[in-house]
């Protein structure tokens, strides 16, 4: 799905609000040996990871997880940079990414400088893989390094399969905060809500499912009846709006509930 890259459209990924035109010596000191940490994290994660450099308007690092690569090699995705999106994202979702970029940087610009690294934006969109199949992925972006002015210089992106069914689902979270900011694409406004709080019993059952235990094995281990375990599981599904344990585990992992 090759697409000609319109430079004007490409620039929509790089808001004037976050223009990184010059780096100071102190800015540059931040990056010493940080690649070792990124590569170590990539080795132990099942998710795709890449690093954006907003000063160079490029991908600085791309992990070898196949989910995000769409049949390409990491070096090929790195060389494509944002051209990768024009190659592997259809127009509707590409326009969605432009919108997310706009509202995300507008939100970020209003944050206190000393808190900006604590925020993560999450959203879902489709990528087209090498077989021509559209896959809905969840994309999380968080700052790694800021300039002295508070602009995002480098950001880490984490890609996993989405737990939702449609594109969008734009949220922002803050580390160690129970608040979630959600963006309404229809009315173009942010709203806030509190993170889902699971009970100790619900978390216990989720962890045991993650270990591969069956309902009968979980019931035996925590000294409850099978019907009681099923009751807790049903309440959990209702609370986080999922239909089965696979979706529940994906939700819990994506939202750092486990």
> What's the pLDDT tens digit per position in 22-49?
888 888 888 878 888 999 999 998 899 9
Q: Could you give the angle at which helices 226-240 and 200-210 cross, rounded to 10 degrees?
A: 100
The candidate with the shortest Cα–Cα distance to 107, out of 94, 91, 123, is 123
Q: What is the rounded average pLDDT of the residues 228-236? A: 93
CATH topology identical between 7-194 and 200-254: no
Compute how many other C-beta atoms are within 10 angstroms of the C-beta atom of residue 163: 22
Lowest mean pLDDT among 29-33, 34-38, 101-105, 112-116: 29-33
Lowest mean pLDDT among 51-55, 154-158, 196-200, 217-221: 196-200
- Taking 80 as the threshold, does the pLDDT of residue 127 lie above it? yes
User: Taking the domains of the chain in order of start, what are their residue ranges?
Assistant: 7-194, 200-254
- Taking 80 as the threshold, does the pLDDT of residue 10 lie above it? no
Q: Could you give the angle at which helices 245-254 and 226-240 cross, rounded to 10 degrees?
A: 50
> What's the pLDDT tens digit per position in 67-83?
999 999 999 999 999 99
Q: What is the rounded average pLDDT of the residues 123-128? A: 97
Alpha carbon 100 to its chain's center = 13
Alpha carbon 106 to its chain's center = 18
Domain boundaries 200-254, CATH class? mainly alpha
- Band (1; pLDDT cuts 50, 70, 90): very low
In the CATH scheme, what is the code of domain 7-194?
Answer: 3.30.450.20
Mean pLDDT of the chain: 90
Query: What is the reported pLDDT for 63?
Result: 96
């Amino acid at each position: 799905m090759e697409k000609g890259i319109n430079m004007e459209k490409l620039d929509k990924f790089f808001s004037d609000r976050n223009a990184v035109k010059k780096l100071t010596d102190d800015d540059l000191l931040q990056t010493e040996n940080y690649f070792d940490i990124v590569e170590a994290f990539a080795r132990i994660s099942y998710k795709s990871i890449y690093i954006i450099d907003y000063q160079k308007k490029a991908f600085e690092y791309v992990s070898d997880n196949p989910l995000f690569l769409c049949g390409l090699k990491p070096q090929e995705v790195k060389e494509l940079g944002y051209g990768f999106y024009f190659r592997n994202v259809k127009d509707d979702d590409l326009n969605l990414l432009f919108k997310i970029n706009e509202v995300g940087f507008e939100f970020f610009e209003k944050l206190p400088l000393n808190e900006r690294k604590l925020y993560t934006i999450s959203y879902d969109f489709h990528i087209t893989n090498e077989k021509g199949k559209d896959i809905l992925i969840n994309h999380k972006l968080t700052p790694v390094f800021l300039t002295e002015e508070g602009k995002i210089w480098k950001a880490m992106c984490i890609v996993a399969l989405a737990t939702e069914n449609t594109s969008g689902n734009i949220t922002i979270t803050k580390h160690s905060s129970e608040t979630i900011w959600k963006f309404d694409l229809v009315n173009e406004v942010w709203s806030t809500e509190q993170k889902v709080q699971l009970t100790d019993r619900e978390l216990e059952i989720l962890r045991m499912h993650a270990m591969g235990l069956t309902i009968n094995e979980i019931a035996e281990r925590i000294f409850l009846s099978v019907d009681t375990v099923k009751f807790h599981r049903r309440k959990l599904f209702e609370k986080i709006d999922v239909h089965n344990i696979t979706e529940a585990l994906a939700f819990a992992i994506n939202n750092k509930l486990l």
